[in-house]
Amino acid sequence: MSDNQYQLQVITPERIFYEDDVTMVTFKTSEGEIGVKKNHIALTTPLVSGLMTIKYNGSEKKAALHEGFAEITPEQVTILADAAEWANEIDVERASEAKARAEALLEKDSPDIDTIRAKAALLRALTRLEVSHYQGEK
Amino acid sequence: MASMREIKRRKSSIQSTKQITNAMKLVATAKLQKAKANAEETRPYFKRTMDTIGSIIHKSRGITHPYLTERTVKNKGYVVITSNRGLAGGYNMNLCKLIMRKESDKEQSKIIAVGKNGRDILKKNGYAIIKEYHDMVNHPSYRSAEILGKALLKMYEVEELDEIYIAYTSFKSTISHEPQLIRVLPVDVEQFEAVESEKHLMTFEPNEEEVLGHIIPRYINSLIIGALREAVASEHGARMTAMDSATKNASEIIDRLTLEYNRARQASITQEITEIVGGAEALK
């Protein structure tokens, strides 16, 4: 293990999504995008739906993260997400449908719909579509 | 003594019952394996969530958050996780008994039923059922836990309920399950005390309150999904044990009936011979 690597754990309620040594991970927090290298200051922060990129040994892995929070310490990063998917696990058709559905809901703008929920659903769908562009890459 | 035909009929009826209980046992065994694996998968997530909350509370002593503060209790909510189907031995009854023992004041306790059997038992005993979520037991997914978690938080926020408990059967091993009652809201700060002293000075972005407000709903969701999955594993375990003993009982009765049948057969043969001999004697 080279000196600039640290342990990354990505855990969802359904499974342990990723657990290995990495050199860098980037993901989206409620305050904006963040890239974490070794010896990062200890930090706990909520996540929003977005693309996660894992870099290790010169190669990259992309995945979608859907809400949760991250706990960063200088030698370990733990991401607890509600859901996580690798690029090639994403069902593009379903994501497009979900996007259209959420957009239609938001357009109506009636007071009885849950705007926050619709927005979150839209963001999830957009993230899935974004990440799905990396399908086929290893 | 019952006639041969009567015994034979009973025997075949018990034989088919035995086949059914045996099949149910096999199905429960297969389902148990899956449920057990599922229950174990949620543990790492739950543990990490608890650790993180622990470190936040540890670091920021005296933090106040509506989810952490206790208030005078007017209404208590109980989430009761039982099974939708019967034939699981004492599984449902044991859990309901726990609530009846703990909560004699039926006026202030409201039941959120997950599982039809528990609902029926508690309803019969005079408890008020305010919400029902029966599908969750069939497919315990994080999504369904989220829905229930959200509903609980809402009821807590609008002060419909001042304390919320969750009652489920925890899965110790295949043959040992234990009914349990844990408090969900307000979050019991005491249970997080045991976290090891923090080596790092943790920062929170944007701030402690907001992170806590973000994490606690997740902690509750993971509590629910953990309880759901353990309850499902316990249900299959209980059904397996119940069906196993039912199959054994059926075998025992069949053995006894076989013996009785053979005796009846022997008796009838003896009687026939006596009659023939008697008839032959009379002809002489």
Q: Where are the domains positioned within chain B?
A: 4-20+243-283, 25-242
B277 vs B101, more confident: B277
* Assigned domain for A52 exists: yes
CATH top class, domain B25-242: alpha beta
Name the average pLDDT for chain B: 84
Residue of B44, B142, B215 lying closest to A69 (CB–CB):
B215
* Assigned domain for A107 exists: yes
* Assigned domain for A41 exists: yes
Same-domain status, A103 and A61: no
Give per-residue pLDDT as tens, A53-71.
888 888 888 888 888 888 8
Q: Give the residue carrying structure tokens 């379903």.
A: A94
A15 vs B114, more confident: B114
- According to the CATH classification, is domain B4-20+243-283 in 1.10.287.80? yes
Same-domain status, A63 and A123: no
Write the CATH number for A29: 2.60.15.10
Same-domain status, A95 and A66: no
Give per-residue pLDDT as tens, B229-251.
888 888 888 889 999 999 999 99
Q: Give the residue carrying structure tokens 């109506």.
A: A108
Same-domain status, A98 and A121: yes
- What does the pLDDT read at residue B192? 66
Total domains in the fold of chain A: 2
Which among A43, A54, A45, A52 has a CA at the least distance from the CA of A8?
A54
Residue of B41, B49, B200 lying closest to A73 (CB–CB):
B200
pLDDT average, residue stretch B146-171: 86
How many residues would you count in chain B? 284
CA of B189, closest CA in chain A: separation in Å? 19
- What does the pLDDT read at residue B194? 52
Neighbour order of strands in the sheet with B128-132: B128-132, B109-114, B76-81, B163-171, B177-185
CA of A136, closest CA in chain B: separation in Å? 28
Residue B174 clears pLDDT 50, i.e. is over it: yes
Q: Which residues on chain B are in Cβ contact (under 8 Å) with A73? A: 199-200, 202
- Is the C-alpha dihedral spanning B231, B233, B236, B238 positive or negative? negative
First to last CA, chain A: 22
Same-domain status, A83 and A100: no
Same-domain status, A10 and A41: yes
Instruction: Write the DSSP string, B167-226.
Output: EEEEESSSS-EEEEEEEEES--GGGGTTSPPPSS--EESS-HHHHHHHHHHHHHHHHHHH
B190 vs B68, more confident: B68
Same-domain status, A80 and A96: no
Distances in Å between the alpha carbon of A104 and those of A98, A101, A113, A114, A119?
10, 5, 11, 13, 11
How many CA atoms does the CB half-sphere of A63 hold within 13 Å? 18
Percent of chain A whose predicted confidence (pLDDT) is above 90: 0
* Assigned domain for A82 exists: yes
Confidence tier at A105 by pLDDT (50, 70, 90): confident
Same-domain status, A49 and A83: yes
Q: Which phi and psi (to 5°) does residue A71 adopt?
A: -120, 115
Confidence tier at A41 by pLDDT (50, 70, 90): confident
Same-domain status, A77 and A50: yes
Global ipTM: 0.73
Write the CATH number for A115: 1.20.5
Do the Cβ atoms of A42 and B201 come within 8 Å? yes
The helix (run of H) or strand (run of E) holding residue B127 is none
* Assigned domain for A108 exists: yes
Instruction: Write the DSSP string, A106-130.
Output: HHH--TTS-HHHHHHHHHHHHHHHH
pLDDT average, residue stretch B269-282: 92
Confidence tier at B121 by pLDDT (50, 70, 90): confident
Query: A112: domain range?
Result: 91-132
Confidence tier at A138 by pLDDT (50, 70, 90): very low
Same-domain status, A11 and A65: yes
Any idea which of A33-42, A82-91, A95-104, A105-114 has the lowest mean pLDDT?
A105-114
* Assigned domain for A137 exists: no
First to last CA, chain B: 33
